[in-house]
Structure 1
């Protein structure tokens, strides 16, 4: 790294489709990000001790005096290794969790709320039933002009996108379950078909969905902000989080 200072080391672990576990290390300095190394951790027990030793070696490679910050995910093993690294007097470090993962975990926590969970489960029952029956799916595509479900990198964001799609395609969905073709189809009399129709016809479902989408909108907007090409400063993210809190408070008041 030469005589650069103010270096940030980022640690990012992921698993390939072949189940190979990879940990990547990159360094950021002077506005540039450089790939440092990739570690195959498939045969290792990725506990706090192992992660600590990896981070310690990376800090030495980059030169300890150059490193001021380490950015990692929020796994328990990483948190423990971070605590150990930061209490070591040899290092003078700041530890920062990935902003996008923190926000994704906010979505996860919101998804565990009873009011949100109920709406998600009802919407999931509708989509599962429709997507498992070609006739119903064809009606939906015709009336709604596309799909309801758009898979994303995480399940929590996928849930939000699905609920948002429900809201945007409300009139199309309601018309699907009011068509003569629907009532003349044998599947409409099945338990799943009746449940899906009851959900779409329920005003309470749509009222609850609107509130949930409004809450999740504010969280996802922060996620878009931190993942944008033009990286926001911490005060901007802080202000966005404060606005999100106020929005949630207004909805639940």
Structure 2
């Protein structure tokens, strides 16, 4: 009881309890030992600063955190991440040095196998071309004696730069990119064969548009069923102008006929494109025969009717003879054991031998060594010595050409050295395009203040480590017979779909077709042929399709300009209503 002194009258007031101190919610605070570590130790001083272990009686200072590290047998100093400066300076330099050491083993092979320098065009801040200077720097880095060819696109400025390089450096070739050239051939089909927006290869990467047509052809039945179904008619899209236009196009037999024509024309070239676009196995020894086989396959697809396939041949020959073909292609064809001992090998072709000796003169500047190579060529041609060994004969098509020469060319050392450098080359510059993905991760519009050297080091490290990772994955044992490709333009499944769709496709028949049951059929080479088998028993890289599925040889058929029936009337063998191949209709 207390008195209210201020009022002057006595009164009683309820007592107010004093607040009790709040218990801290921290799990290691005094009075709140909820940390699991306290089950195994004793608080020595009552303030959590020192903890005595129940098992070893050791007293650990600096609270329960250190005590738990003592229980676990670990150090209490955690991982200290590198600072920003250490990452961009110390660690980056260390990684660059590690990559340099990793590449040492490959640099040793440069002198034996030769090198191909692949490049895109670059400009400086003032949009001036620095392409020639880049090539000069690359040649100096690799060593002129190790460089066999420079591969670029077919643009006029690249060609001028390449020819300039050949003038100043007499021992190397400039070679246009075969993949880009085949892409231009596909684009020429759209431009020169009266195409009407059926495909536009120029707007896509390589053969993507034709692969889209393959997908359409594979789904022809389901598409036509969909557009004639009641479900389609009840949709909102069916009554729109766009829906009506697409429906009419899908139900028009001329569309499907034109798609088949495109596939008959493009499928053989797509297979050659797949050959040259491989980044793992050198394609130099196969492109010459690959283009020859593609032309023969196209001729067969159109029933050997000259008026149908001749315009296509003219387009192919125009690009091949004026842009793509180089002496290296013919020389590699001649020296490739896959083809040299075949019955239809072009042994009497003077142009091939001229190109062979032209390469010999450029790549072997020493005259005495050239004479020895010339004297050793007959041993290879007639399979003398090791070349005639039974094992060598049986492995002509199961080993990579350069490896075959490495094993069985010892009796002709000068010829062996020259041949390995030719057969180890690539035909395409598309490999350097894959470097753009690494570059885009380093340099963007929002992150563009890196110094030039630091940016180059980052791309150098990222891309080489990526290639090394692919090599490691490639050497691992796989449980599957094949690995799907993740290439940017084509996959194994898509390529097989091309073969299936083309082999099972028929053009629409009409009343004017002849009685030939094969008149509406066309074929592409078998995907399982060994004709372009560039080595068996090797695992396939997940980024690149295996080259052993390339096209097989197509024996040429007797050429004929037309087919006449008993009444003297001409019937087109492929039932196109006497249309030329260029007649795309809608």
**Aligned alpha-carbon RMSD (Å):** 2.7
* Equivalent position of 1:145 in the other structure: none
Partner Cα distance (2:297, 2:194) in 1: 16
* Equivalent position of 1:112 in the other structure: 191
| Kept after mapping to 2: 8 A contact 1:100/1:223 | yes
1:70 and 2:121 correspond: no
Q: 171, 180, 191: which one pairs with 2:221?
A: 171
Instruction: Show the 5 A alignment for 1:216-227.
Output: 216-227=266-277
Partner Cα distance (1:117, 1:247) in 2: 25
Partner Cα distance (2:269, 2:227) in 1: 32
Q: In proportion to residue count, which structure has more helix?
A: 1
Partner Cα distance (1:62, 1:116) in 2: 46
Q: 161, 171, 187: which one pairs with 2:211?
A: 161
The alpha-carbon deviation at position 169 of structure 1 amounts to 0.4
Instruction: Show the 5 A alignment for 1:132-143.
Output: none
SS at match of 2:198: helix
Stretches of 4+ moved more than 6 A in 1?
A: none
* Equivalent position of 1:243 in the other structure: 293
Instruction: Show the 5 A alignment for 1:1-253.
Output: 4=111, 7-13=114-120, 41=123, 43=125, 45=127, 47=129, 50-88=130-168, 90-120=169-199, 154-228=204-278, 229-234=280-285, 236-250=286-300, 251=302, 252-253=308-309
The alpha-carbon deviation at position 185 of structure 1 amounts to 2.0
SS at match of 2:119: strand
Structure 2 CA distance for partners of 1:157 and 1:184, relative to 1, 3 Å: same
| Kept after mapping to 2: 8 A contact 1:226/1:232 | yes
* Equivalent position of 2:446 in the other structure: none
Pair member with larger Rg? 2
| TM-score, with length taken from structure 1 | 0.66
The alpha-carbon deviation at position 56 of structure 1 amounts to 1.6
Higher relative contact order (CA 8 A, sep 6+): 2
Partner Cα distance (1:169, 1:42) in 2: 48
| Kept after mapping to 1: 8 A contact 2:179/2:206 | no
Query: 1:21-40 CA distances to partner (integer Å, 9 max, x unpaired)?
Result: xx6xxxxxxxxxxxxxxxxx
Partner Cα distance (1:243, 1:214) in 2: 14
Aligned length: 193
| Kept after mapping to 2: 8 A contact 1:6/1:67 | no
Partner Cα distance (1:113, 1:186) in 2: 39
The alpha-carbon deviation at position 117 of structure 1 amounts to 4.0
The alpha-carbon deviation at position 159 of structure 1 amounts to 0.8
Structure 2 CA distance for partners of 1:225 and 1:155, relative to 1, 3 Å: closer
Structure 2 unaligned spans of 5+: 1-106, 303-307, 310-586
Partner Cα distance (2:176, 2:206) in 1: 19
Partner Cα distance (1:99, 1:186) in 2: 47
SS at match of 2:174: strand
| Kept after mapping to 2: 8 A contact 1:86/1:92 | yes
Structure 1 unaligned spans of 5+: 15-22, 24-40, 122-152
The alpha-carbon deviation at position 161 of structure 1 amounts to 1.2
Structure 2 CA distance for partners of 1:106 and 1:55, relative to 1, 3 Å: same
